Structure 1
Amino acid sequence: MENFRNFVEMINTVLWDYVLIFALMGIGIFMTIKLKFPQFTRLIPGLRKMIADIANKEKAEEGKMTPVQALATAIASQVGTGNIVGVATAIAAGGPGAAFWMIVSAFFGMATIFSEAVLAQKYRENKDGELVGGPAYYIKNGLKSKWLAVFFSITAVVTMGIVGTMVQSNSVAGSVSSAFNIPVIAVTVGLAIVVTLILMGGMGRIASFAETVVPIMAGAYILGSLVIIALNLGGFITAIKSIFIGAFTPGAIGGGVLGITVQQTVRYGLARGLFSNEAGVGSTPHSHAVADVKHPAEQGFSAMIGVFISTFLICTSTVMVNTAAGSYNSTIPASVMAESATVMTQNAFTLNFGSVGGMFLSVCLSFFSLTTIIGWYFFAESNVKFLFNAKPVTLNTFKVIVIASLIIGTLIDATFVWELVDMTVGLMAIPNIIALFALSKDVRSILDDYDSKVLSGNISWEYKYQNIEAKSSKKKHLNKRVFGTTMLK
C-alpha cells in the first residue's frame, strides 16, 4: 500500500507541478484570446438569459434537459467538497496566496468551459431516444480518434464514478459524524440509500433534483459565509492582504514559519481551483451536451456561469471565512495545518455560531457532496454508454459499483483519497485539453455564427439546420459532420 501511495504522489507531482499547470492555464489563456475575452462580454447576457429561462419554467422533452437543468447539473458537480474541504486544503498546504491562483484559474477557465460546452453540443449523439455527449464524443467525432476517446472514457468512469464518489462520501461521513455525533456507519448507510433512490430515477430525476437543490444549497452557504465575514470585518482587510502577498511571496506571511514555496502556492491554488470549477477537466460538458437550446453558443454562456458561481462566489466565500474568521492560523507550519484542513471551514462556522454553526456547515457539505455524487454519476454514466452501448445490465452494474465506492470512501484516509482524485482528474484532463486545442477553430466558428445570425435576428441555428436537412442526403450527411450529430431527428 505504501508503494502504491508513493506511486500516486509521483504521478501527481508530474501532472500538477508541471504538465497540467501549463496545459490548463495554457488552454484557458489561448481560448480567452481566441474568443476575444468572453468573460467580459458574454457573462452578463448569459446571466440575463438564465434568469429569463428560470422565469419561463420550460420543460424538456424526454431524453433532454432544459438549459437551466443542464446548468444546475453541471453546478451540482462543480459545487462539492472541493469548494469547502478542497479550498481549505489548498490554503493549508499552499497558504492564503493559493486563493489568488484559484481565482486566476477560474477567470481563464470560463473561456475553457465555454469551449467544452459548445463542442459537446456540436458532436453529441442520440442513443435510444436519449441525448449523450461529452469529450469522448467530440474526441471521436471531431478529432476522429477512437483510442483517445476510449482513454478519456475509462479515466472518466474511474474518476467520476469511483474515486470522486469516495472523496465526497469521505468528507460527508467525517463532517456529519463530528457535528451531530452520529456513527460514521449510520451516515454512510443514509447517504447510500438517498443516492440509490435518486439514481434509480434516471436523467429526469437527476435533473429535477439538481434544479431544486442547487440554488437553495449554494444560496444558504453564501449567505452564512457573508454573515461570518460581516462579524469579522476587522480581519477582512488583513485577509485580503495575505492573499495577494501570499500569491507571490508566501514566505512573507507568518514570519516564514509556513514553509511554503511559490510553486506550492501556485500548484495547490490551481489544482484545487480546477477541481472545484472543473474547467478543462472534461466533466461538465456531459450535462451541457443534453441541453435543448436554439444555438450551441447559448449553452456555452450558461457553462461560464457555472464557473462564476462555483469559484468566484462559493470558493471565495470559503477562503474569506477561513482567513478572516481565524480558523486559518498563519503562525502554524503548513505541514501541521494540512492535517486538520478537512475540518478547517467547519471550525470557522463553529467559532462564530457555536455548535449550530458546525451543524449548519455539515448540512451544507452533505448537500454539496450529495449533488456532486449525483452529477458525477450522470457524467460517468455517459461514458459507460460510450464504452458499452448503454445495455441496462451494464448500467445497473455500474450503479452498484458507485454505491460500493461511496461506502468504501468512508473507510479510507482522507488525505490519500484526495491524492487519488488529483491523479485521476489529471489523467482525465489530458485528452480533453488536446481536443480543445485541436478543435478551437470549431469553437470560434460557432461563436461567430451566433453573433452573425442569431444576434442579428436574420436566422437561428435551428432554422438554418432545418433548411440544410431538407436538401439531398449527401448534404444532410455534410450537415451532420459540420453542425453536429444531434440536430438530426
Structure 2
Amino acid sequence: MEAIINFVNWITGIVWGWPMLITLGLGGFVLSARLGFFQIRYFPYIIKQTFGKMFTKAEKGEVSPFQAATAALASTVGASNIIGVPAAIMFGGPGAIFWMWVMALMGMGSKFVEIVLGFKYREKNEEGEYVGGPMYYMKKGLKMPWLGSFFALMLMLELIPSIMVQANSVSASAQEAFGLNPIITGVVTLILVGLVVVGGIKRIASTTEKLVPFMAGAYFLAAMIIVIVNIAEVPRVFGLIFGSAFTPMSAVGGFAGSVVAASIRWGVARGVYSNEAGMGTAPMAHSAATNDHAVRQGFWGLFEIIVDTLVICTTTAFVVLSTDIWTQPGAMDNPSGLPAAAFNNFYGPIGGTLVTVALLMFVVSTIIVVIFYGEKQAEFLFGLKFSRVMRYVYLASIVIGAAGGAQTLWIFLDIMLAMIIFPNMFALFMLHGEVKDLTKEFFTSKEYYLKDIGKA
C-alpha cells in the first residue's frame, strides 16, 4: 500500500506542476484571446448585467441567473479562500497575489466558454429540470459520448473523497474552536446538508441565494475593517505585491524569501483552485438557470471569479500583508492559521471564532453543491433513480470524513481531479468556435446587447 501511495503522490506532483498550470493558465489566455478579450472590452456592461441584476427574482418554479451563480459560487467560495491565500504568500511571496489576479482575468475566458457550452447543450430530465455540463457538450457537441461518460465517472467518484476532506476540515475546526466531538459535527453537518440537497436544484439555489451573500459579505466586511484601520499600509502592500511579482523577495522575519518562479507557480495555482475555471463544474449549476441567451448566462461566470478571487481572496491577502502577520516568527510553520491569527489580534478571541464560523459555513455550502454535481454525473451515466442512490452515498461520506475515516482515499483526490480537467479543457478548445459565434451574435443582435444599451 505504501508503494501505491508513493507512486500516486509522485504522479500527482508531476501532473499538478507545469502541465496543469500551462493547461489552465495558458489555456485560459488563449481562449480569452480567441474571444477578443471580451471580459476587458465589455467589462462595464458585464458588471451592469450581473451585479446590477443580483436581486432580480425568478418566476415561480424557475432558477434565476443569480441563483445559479450563487449555487456555483457556493462550491468555489470555500476554505481555500481563507487558508489557501496565506499559503501562497508564504511559499511564493506577496508577488503570488499579482499572478493570482492575472490568472483570474485569464480564467474568465475558460469559465465563460464552459458555461455558454453547458447552457447551449443542456436538456430536460425526467422531472422536467434542465441538466447540463461537460458530459453533455462532450456527447452532443464533440460527438464523443465516451469522453462525456469518462468525465462523469471520474467526477462522480472524485467527489466522495472530496466531500470527506471537506467534512474533515469542518470537524477539525469545530473540535479546535468549540471542543465538539467529530462524530457529532459529522451528524449535524449531514442533517443540515441533507435537508437542502433532498429538495433538488431549486432548494439548493434558494438556499445558496441567501447563504452565499451573507457568509461572503460577513467575512468581507470583518476583513475590510482590518484593512481600513491599516489603510496607511495599503500603498506598501501594493508595492510588495507588484515588486515581488517580478523580482526575488528576500527573507523578512518569519518569511523565508522566494524567487519569481515560486511567485508565478503559487499565484497561478491559487487563481486556478479558487475559482474552478476550466474544471467543468460551474456549467452544471448554470445550466439550470432561466435566461434568454447562453452568453448572458456566461457573464455570471465572470461575476463568480470577481467575487471569489478578486474580492474574497484579495481581501484575505490584504489582511495578512497589511497587518504584517506573515513576517512574525513561526508564520511559516502554520500559514493556514494566519488569517485567524490576524483576526484574533484585531478583534480579540471573538476574531478567531469568526474565522472558524466562516470556514464552517463556507465548507457546508461547498458540500451542498458538490453533492448536487455528483448526482448529475450519476444521472447522466445511470439515470435518475441511481442518482438518488449516490445522494445517500455522498451524505454517508460526510460522517465518515468528519471522523477521519478513509484517509487513504484522499491521496487520489488531485489525480482524479486532473482526469476531469484535461478532457474538459480539450472540449473547450475544440468547441470554443461555437462560443465565439454565439458571442458575436449576442453583441451584434438588436435583441440583446444593442437593445440593452439603447442602440437597437
Instruction: Using structure 1 for the length normalisation, give the TM-score.
Output: 0.85
CA distance in 2, matches of 1:415, 1:88: 25
CA distance in 2, matches of 1:8, 1:253: 33
**Tell me, what secondary structure is at the counterpart of 2:130?**
strand
Paired AA for residue 135 in structure 1: P
> C-alpha deviations, 1:375-414, integer Å up to 9, x for none?
21222221111111222xx223212221232233334499
The one of 409, 416, 420 aligned to 2:401: 409
The one of 358, 363, 374 aligned to 2:357: 363
Q: Structure 1 residue 33: deviation in Å? A: 1.2
**Would the alpha carbon gap of residues 417 and 389 (structure 1) be closer, same or farther in structure 2, given more than 3 Å must change?**
closer
Deviates more, 1:186-195 or 1:134-143: 186-195
Q: Is 2:335 the partner of 1:341?
A: yes
In structure 2, the residue matched to 1:478 is none
CA distance in 2, matches of 1:224, 1:103: 22
In structure 2, the residue matched to 1:485 is none
Q: Is 2:129 the partner of 1:135?
A: no
CA distance in 1, matches of 2:407, 2:108: 29
CA distance in 2, matches of 1:34, 1:153: 28
**Would the alpha carbon gap of residues 162 and 442 (structure 1) be closer, same or farther in structure 2, given more than 3 Å must change?**
same
CA distance in 1, matches of 2:366, 2:387: 19
Q: Structure 1 residue 451: deviation in Å? A: 1.5
Seq. identity, %: 36
Q: Once superposed, what is the RMSD of the aligned Cα atoms?
A: 2.6
**Tell me, what secondary structure is at the counterpart of 1:143?**
coil
Which ranges in structure 1 are unaligned for 5 or more consecutive residues? 460-489
> C-alpha deviations, 1:22-71, integer Å up to 9, x for none?
1111221112111111222334323322355444322254xx52111111
In structure 2, the residue matched to 1:471 is none
In structure 2, the residue matched to 1:455 is 448
CA distance in 2, matches of 1:65, 1:184: 35
CA distance in 2, matches of 1:40, 1:296: 19
**Would the alpha carbon gap of residues 441 and 176 (structure 1) be closer, same or farther in structure 2, given more than 3 Å must change?**
same
Q: Structure 1 residue 257: deviation in Å? A: 6.3
Deviates more, 1:295-304 or 1:181-190: 181-190
In structure 2, the residue matched to 1:102 is 100
- Is contact 2:186–2:403 with CA below 8 Å preserved after alignment? no
CA distance in 2, matches of 1:217, 1:92: 26
In structure 1, the residue matched to 2:13 is 13
Q: Structure 1 residue 416: deviation in Å? A: 8.7
**Would the alpha carbon gap of residues 412 and 442 (structure 1) be closer, same or farther in structure 2, given more than 3 Å must change?**
same
Paired AA for residue 358 in structure 1: G
CA distance in 1, matches of 2:412, 2:317: 24
**Would the alpha carbon gap of residues 456 and 180 (structure 1) be closer, same or farther in structure 2, given more than 3 Å must change?**
closer
In structure 1, the residue matched to 2:167 is 169
> C-alpha deviations, 1:237-270, integer Å up to 9, x for none?
4433333333334442438962644443333322
- Is contact 1:139–1:145 with CA below 8 Å preserved after alignment? yes
**Tell me, what secondary structure is at the counterpart of 1:399?**
helix
CA distance in 1, matches of 2:2, 2:230: 43
Q: Structure 1 residue 79: deviation in Å? A: 0.5
CA distance in 2, matches of 1:244, 1:434: 33
**Would the alpha carbon gap of residues 456 and 299 (structure 1) be closer, same or farther in structure 2, given more than 3 Å must change?**
closer
**Would the alpha carbon gap of residues 195 and 294 (structure 1) be closer, same or farther in structure 2, given more than 3 Å must change?**
same
In structure 2, the residue matched to 1:486 is none
- Is contact 2:376–2:387 with CA below 8 Å preserved after alignment? no
CA distance in 1, matches of 2:89, 2:426: 30
**Tell me, what secondary structure is at the counterpart of 2:124?**
strand
CA distance in 1, matches of 2:287, 2:112: 12
In structure 2, the residue matched to 1:24 is 24
In structure 2, the residue matched to 1:148 is 147
**Would the alpha carbon gap of residues 205 and 255 (structure 1) be closer, same or farther in structure 2, given more than 3 Å must change?**
closer
**Tell me, what secondary structure is at the counterpart of 1:285?**
helix
Which ranges in structure 2 are unaligned for 5 or more consecutive residues? none
**Would the alpha carbon gap of residues 154 and 205 (structure 1) be closer, same or farther in structure 2, given more than 3 Å must change?**
same
Deviates more, 1:404-413 or 1:97-106: 404-413
- Is contact 2:116–2:298 with CA below 8 Å preserved after alignment? yes
> C-alpha deviations, 1:443-478, integer Å up to 9, x for none?
10000111222336689xxxxxxxxxxxxxxxxxxx
CA distance in 1, matches of 2:355, 2:451: 50
Paired AA for residue 64 in structure 2: T
**Would the alpha carbon gap of residues 167 and 361 (structure 1) be closer, same or farther in structure 2, given more than 3 Å must change?**
same
In structure 1, the residue matched to 2:58 is 58
- Is contact 2:63–2:288 with CA below 8 Å preserved after alignment? yes
**Would the alpha carbon gap of residues 182 and 295 (structure 1) be closer, same or farther in structure 2, given more than 3 Å must change?**
same
- Is contact 1:165–1:373 with CA below 8 Å preserved after alignment? yes
**Would the alpha carbon gap of residues 257 and 370 (structure 1) be closer, same or farther in structure 2, given more than 3 Å must change?**
closer
CA distance in 2, matches of 1:303, 1:456: 18
Q: Structure 1 residue 104: deviation in Å? A: 1.2
Instruction: Using structure 2 for the length normalisation, give the TM-score.
Output: 0.91
> C-alpha deviations, 1:420-448, integer Å up to 9, x for none?
54333322110010001101100100001
Paired AA for residue 130 in structure 1: E
> C-alpha deviations, 1:298-355, integer Å up to 9, x for none?
00111111111100000111111122223323765xxx82x52332222221111111
- Is contact 2:90–2:255 with CA below 8 Å preserved after alignment? no
CA distance in 2, matches of 1:131, 1:321: 41
CA distance in 2, matches of 1:206, 1:318: 27
How many residues are aligned here? 450
- Is contact 2:250–2:258 with CA below 8 Å preserved after alignment? no
**Tell me, what secondary structure is at the counterpart of 1:252?**
coil
- Is contact 1:43–1:301 with CA below 8 Å preserved after alignment? no
The one of 185, 188, 191 aligned to 1:187: 185
Deviates more, 1:39-48 or 1:117-126: 39-48
Q: Structure 1 residue 87: deviation in Å? A: 2.0
In structure 2, the residue matched to 1:74 is 72
Q: How does 1:370-409 map to 2 (within 5 A)?
A: 370-391=364-385, 394-409=386-401
**Would the alpha carbon gap of residues 205 and 123 (structure 1) be closer, same or farther in structure 2, given more than 3 Å must change?**
same
Deviates more, 1:119-128 or 1:91-100: 91-100
Paired AA for residue 141 in structure 2: G
